[in-house]
Amino acid sequence: MTSKNGLFDAVGLKFHHCGLGTRNPSGVAKLLEGLGYTVGETVYDANQNAHLCMATAPDAPSIEVISPGEGDNPLAKILNKFQAGVYHLCYETEDVEGALEKLKQIGIRAVCAVPAKNAILFGGDPVSFYHVVDFGLIEIIHRPKR
């Protein structure tokens, strides 16, 4: 794939952000601000049982900083093994089913890990998560056609 827009042209997915899980979001924010990022306000999303904020910089990929809420959730299990780290990449699309079908057509297997739930951080647009064989976890923001 040599096109300018890569995955978007190939399957209809546009890169959105890297998801960084941590139990110390203030420490991550301090580092990101030192690197020139602007760190947004933290919100709690009950649908994901997580505290979330976006960090953006003009010439760098956006980073979603995620820390687990109370009790059991998938991120808490990941952070039991690793103190912090990027654990998913996020893409957005207007046609989730079409993008998943195109991935399948080019031999990429994506298995739904978390079905679509509305996400406060993304204006209420739904997000879903997929395990992509030989790659890892991706999040897809379901963007309605505007």
> Is the Cβ–Cβ distance between 23 and 67 less than 8 Å?
yes
Give me the chain's average pLDDT, please.
91
Query: Is the pLDDT at 2 greater than 50, yes or no?
Result: no
Contacts (Cβ under 8 Å, ≥6 apart) of 143: 92, 93, 94, 125
Domains and CATH numbers, the chain: 12-142 (3.10.180.10)
10 confidence band (pLDDT: 50, 70, 90): confident
Q: How many CB atoms lie within 10 A of CB 129?
A: 21
Residue 44: the pLDDT is: 96
Residue 40: the pLDDT is: 97
User: What are 25-46's pLDDT values in tens digits?
Assistant: 999 999 999 999 999 999 999 9
User: What are 45-76's pLDDT values in tens digits?
Assistant: 999 999 999 999 999 999 999 999 998 788 88
- Determine the straight-line distance between the first and last CA of the chain, rounded to whole angstroms: 28
pTM of the prediction?
0.90
4 confidence band (pLDDT: 50, 70, 90): low
Look at residues 82, 73, 36 and name the one whose alpha carbon lies nearest to residue 52: 73
Look at residues 25, 27, 54, 21 and name the one whose alpha carbon lies nearest to residue 121: 54
Kindly tell me the burial class for residue 122, based on how many C-beta atoms sit within 10 Å of its own C-beta (0-12, 13-18, 19 or more): buried
